[in-house]
Amino acid sequence: MDETTLLKAFEARVAAGEKIEPRDWMPERYRRQLVRMMSQHAHSEIVGMLPEGNWITRAPNLRRKMALLAKVQDEAGHGLYIYSATETLGVDRNDLIQELLDGKAKYSNIFNYPTLTWADIGVIGWFVDGAAIVNQTMLAKASYGPYARAMIRICKEENFHKKQGYEICVTLAKGTPAQRQMLQDAVNRWWWPTLMMFGPHDTESANSDELLRWKVKQKTNDELRQHFVNITVPQVHALGLTLPDPDLRYDEETGNWITGEIDWDEFWRVVRGHGPCNRERLRARRAAHEEGTWVREAARAYAAKQQRKTRPSNGVEVA
């Protein structure tokens, strides 16, 4: 079959809501778009461990400390899961990670913002995981089977994380004046970066049309952002908090909360590597990778020795 016929059959399958699986024919553009999106997604899980990991040793009680540690551990697991799903597209995890370390691959902008107080940990769970869930619930219907299945699994845990984050915020909101102030400050700092997580306006989004046509995405950036705003604004008000947006208003006609304009200069600056923590995040990932080199070499050397001895390995393979 020639390319045109294959493409036609592919698009018909996608239109019919069928899942595309690793061995199926797919357009090279589709494959590359997925590798780009999925590896960015995996990188985001990994880099996303850092801002929250920043508070593990300072969590205010044992229950919160364990919950946070478990959450960050889940994120490492999500990263592994999405890297595996990406590898079904014929790429190697190590190459993807190298691109991240070289600053060639992107990850979610949100993780380039610092966690300054404990309230940030609550607000990240509530806002950032909340936004991720809106996005991932859509991706759970993506046309590529391995990605959709990864999202279904991950969404379950993310929902739990969001609940934990929200619970931290509720506790702070009901707490002392200092705690309420801490929470309001975190809301002020995380609100706009969270809205930026959904990406540029539909009119500015270079990849959107293709991704929508191939049902990798089901909804546009602006649609998802609006949905997130609509569900989150009432939650913010319910906790007696305000949002740092003087233009925020409720539109009776559409039932939407209308926000002011996002600072797109800031958005693009952070995308291009010039946000508050871009350098530190990459530096931390590179340091972990470089300091771990001798460990990975040791594991490989040991595995090779064991193989030469032609006896069954008595260790879990990690190399």
Partner 1 sequence: MTLDALDTATKTALFEYLLRLGDDALILGHRLSEWCGHGPYLEEDIALANIALDCLGHANALLGLAGEVEGAGQSADDLAFFRDAIEFRNVQLVELPRGDFAFTIARQFLFSAYAHLLYEGLRESTFEPLAGIAAKAYKEVSYHLRHSSEWMLRLGDGTDESHRRTQQALNDLWMYTGELFEADDVLHALVEAGIAPDVPAARSRWKDMVTTVLEAATLQLPPEPPYMASGGRTGFHTEHLGHLLAEMQFLPRAYPDATW
Nearer CB in complex with partner 1: 58/237: 58
Contacts of residue 90, Cβ cutoff 8 Å, sequence gap at least 6 = 31
The one among 62, 203, 246, 261 contacting partner 1 by CB under 8 A: 62
90: contact with partner 1 by CB under 8 A: no
4-8: long-range pairs with CB below 8 Å, 24+: none
Nearer CB in complex with partner 1: 271/303: 303
Stretch 30-49 residues interacting with partner 1 (CB under 8 A): 46, 49
Build a one-symbol-per-residue string for 235-274: x at contacts with partner 1 by CB under 8 A, - elsewhere: ----------------------------------------
315: contact with partner 1 by CB under 8 A: yes
Nearer CB in complex with partner 1: 110/195: 110
Q: How far is the CB of 175 from partner 1 (least distance, A)?
A: 5
297: contact with partner 1 by CB under 8 A: yes
176: contact with partner 1 by CB under 8 A: yes
291: contact with partner 1 by CB under 8 A: yes
The one among 4, 5, 61, 203 contacting partner 1 by CB under 8 A: 61
65: contact with partner 1 by CB under 8 A: yes
Nearer CB in complex with partner 1: 34/49: 49
The one among 22, 60, 240, 244 contacting partner 1 by CB under 8 A: 60
Build a one-symbol-per-residue string for 183-212: x at contacts with partner 1 by CB under 8 A, - elsewhere: ------------------------------
Stretch that binds partner 1, among 135-143, 190-198, 237-245, 284-292 (CB under 8 A): 284-292
3-state SS of the chain?
CCHHHHHHHHHHHHHCCCCECCCCCCCHHHHHHHHHHHHHHHHHHHHCHHHHHCCHHHCCCHHHHHHHHHHHHHHHHHHHHHHHHHHCCCCCHHHHHHHHHCCCCCCCHHHHCCCCCHHHHHHHHHHHHHHHHHHHHHHCCCCEHHHHHHHHHHHHHHHHHHHHHHHHHHHHHCCCHHHHHHHHHHHHHHHHHHHHCCCCCHHHCCCHHHHHHCCCCCCCHHHHHHHHHHHHHHHHHHCCCCCCCCCCEEECCCCEEECCCCCHHHHHHHHCCCCCCHHHHHHHHHHHHHHCHHHHHHHHHHHHHHHHCCCCCCCCCCC
The one among 18, 31, 53, 222 contacting partner 1 by CB under 8 A: 53
Dihedral angle sign, alpha carbons of residues 83, 194, 148, 32: negative
Binding site for partner 1 (CB under 8 A): 46, 49-50, 53, 56-66, 69-70, 72-73, 76-77, 79-80, 83, 118, 168, 171-172, 175-176, 178-179, 284, 287-288, 291-303, 305, 314-316, 318
